[in-house]
Amino acid sequence: MSLVVVGSIAFDSVKTPFGERERMLGGAAVHFSLAASFFTDVRVVGPVGDDFGDEQYEVLHGRGVITDDVEHVDGGQTFFWKAHYEYDMNVAHTEDTQLGVFGEFEPKLSEDSRNAGNLFLANIQPDVQRGVREQCTGARFAGLDSMNLWIDTARDSLVKTIGGVDLVFLNDAEIRMLTEQPNLVRAAREIMDMGPSVVVAKQGEYGAALFTQDGFFALPAFPLDTVTDPTGAGDSFAGGFLGYLAAQDDWQDDAALRRAMTYGSVLASFNVEEFGTERVARLTSDEIDERFERFREITALEAAPA
């Protein structure tokens, strides 16, 4: 089944200890849709300005992403983000943010997108996310990402929006912050009490944990000896996860959710190997399958001999 993602499309200028790039294609919806494109048909919804052109579309089309609902705002500028990372890659140091056309974004979904089988709400103001969720009446499942800013400034709206989705992707600090509960197991349960049946705690270099009503699964991050640029890792993770899940008959099956965690981790691990979308744009399904098997190897645990 198809998957529609609503969120930011951006230009990112990023400097890390391993190099720098100016105005690379980026944004949550871009990283998500490229990752998800390996598993299902993906439609991306987000605003761009006059500075967004063929070169950027080619990256998306190169992976078969459907861009009919990319909204071109005449005279506008695409969302721009500039940041650097120190050796501790867990923290991005933002130097500049220019919202541009993203600041006034009011998603208007085409009929095809409204009828998409599954939905992902990338990190946007929670009122806007809820509006999109209400447009996509037919979606089998909806996933959501958010951030500390909205927990701080729009908590009630975020809780209401979470009440209308099935899967929540947050990092563990955000899960604790939203629930004011320091224990992650209890905090995840409190988020499930708001409505969702699945909570995914993103843990950066430590991997991710999956909480469901009666299940738990955790997966380490892939051990890389070079992380070139962590930008978009979380969105690539969500894209691999939900792209895989959108293609399954029973998306709530425990084994399918565990594989979704793994495909998410596979896509995130490739994403950070190079700058921006460079690595994922030329990734192959064979490479994905190979790394999935590597994940099975590095987590395999035999029973104790009797």
Q: Which stretches of the chain bind a second copy, using CB under 8 A?
A: 87-89, 182-186, 189, 203, 205-207, 209, 216-220, 223-227, 255, 258-259, 262, 289, 292-293, 295-296, 298-304
Residue 65: CB minimum distance to a second copy, A: 23
Give min distance, CB of 133 to a second copy, in A. Answer: 29
Q: Which lies closer to a second copy via its Cβ, residue 111 or residue 180?
A: 180
Residue closer to a second copy, measured from CB, 236 or 262: 262
To the nearest whole angstrom, how small is the minimum distance from the Cβ of residue 300 to a second copy? 7
Rounded to a whole number of angstroms, the minimum distance from the CB of residue 261 to a second copy is 8
Rounded to a whole number of angstroms, the minimum distance from the CB of residue 78 to a second copy is: 32
Closer to a second copy by Cβ: residue 81 or 211: 211
Give the nearer residue to a second copy in terms of CB position, either 61 or 296: 296
| Residue whose CB is less far from a second copy, 256 or 281 | 256
HEC string of 226-291? CCCCCCCHHHHHHHHHHHHHHCCCCCCCHHHHHHHHHHHHHHHHHHCCCCCCHHHHCCCHHHHHHH
Residue with Cβ nearer a second copy (57 or 206): 206
Write down the least CB distance from residue 183 to a second copy, Å: 6
Nearer to a second copy, 164 or 220 (CB): 220
> Considering the complex, what minimum distance in angstroms separates the CB of residue 288 from a second copy?
10
